[in-house]
Amino acid sequence: MSGLELIAAVLGVTAVWLTVKQNAWCWPIGLVMVLIYGWLFFEVKLYSGMLLQLAYAVLQLYGWWQWKRPGRAQDARVVSRLANQAVFTGLAAGVVISVALGAAMAHWTDAALPWLDATLTGFSLVAQLWMAQKRVQCWPLWMVVDVVYVGQYLHQQLYFTAGFFVVLTLIAVRGWREWRRDPALQASKVQA
């Protein structure tokens, strides 16, 4: 399993780096990565994480469409900022998903870490949706989620994946810095 885990981690670093660089190839590479991780998480009984990978597969396709908008380049997504109310709503949705999924996993499965895994899943969904929409706030949320994931994966002895999330944390810092300097975001500040 570690060979497959290493492949998924390398694909993941590549996909997230391409996301920082706003290269739409991040989405198909990410799709392959999430499918591999879905299998791996099933194997180690991180069922919320497995379900997250399935949701990510759908969000990978959504993100690719959002970023490319075939035939309508003028409608392609640009980096933007969420209003405070939208941030609050997104984070509240993360809490609701976390509690519902955590309760389901704790009650109906033999999940290894039902509450932690569910909480990380809930907030990862929010961060991934914001990323697909090129919202700059995705990066600080990813930083927090990724740091906690490192601990979870160390606990589950998924060492390549824990290392992968250390790298993802560093890339999220870089993404936040780069996207905050994006010309489209700067232009929106001037217009506001």
Q: CA–CA separation, 78 vs 189, rounded Å?
A: 13
Question: Which residues lie below 8 Å from residue 134, measured CB to CB, with a gap of 6+?
Answer: 22, 66, 67, 77, 78, 79, 80, 179
What's the rounded mean pLDDT across residues 57-73? 79
Closest CA to 127 of 142, 115, 149, 116: 142
Model pLDDT for residues 105-119, shown as the tens digit of each residue:
999 999 889 999 999
Closest CA to 26 of 128, 161, 170: 128
Q: CA–CA separation, 76 vs 67, rounded Å?
A: 5
Delimit the domains of the chain by residue range. Answer: 2-71+87-191
Residue whose token pair is 């469409």? 65
Q: CA–CA separation, 116 vs 106, rounded Å?
A: 10
Threshold 0.75, pTM exceeds:
yes
Q: CA–CA separation, 4 vs 17, rounded Å?
A: 20
Q: Which pLDDT belongs to residue 73?
A: 54
Averaged pLDDT score across all residues of the chain: 89
Closest CA to 59 of 81, 40, 38: 38
Model pLDDT for residues 148-187, shown as the tens digit of each residue:
999 999 998 888 889 989 999 999 999 999 999 988 777 7
Q: CA–CA separation, 64 vs 184, rounded Å?
A: 19
Q: Which pLDDT belongs to residue 45?
A: 86
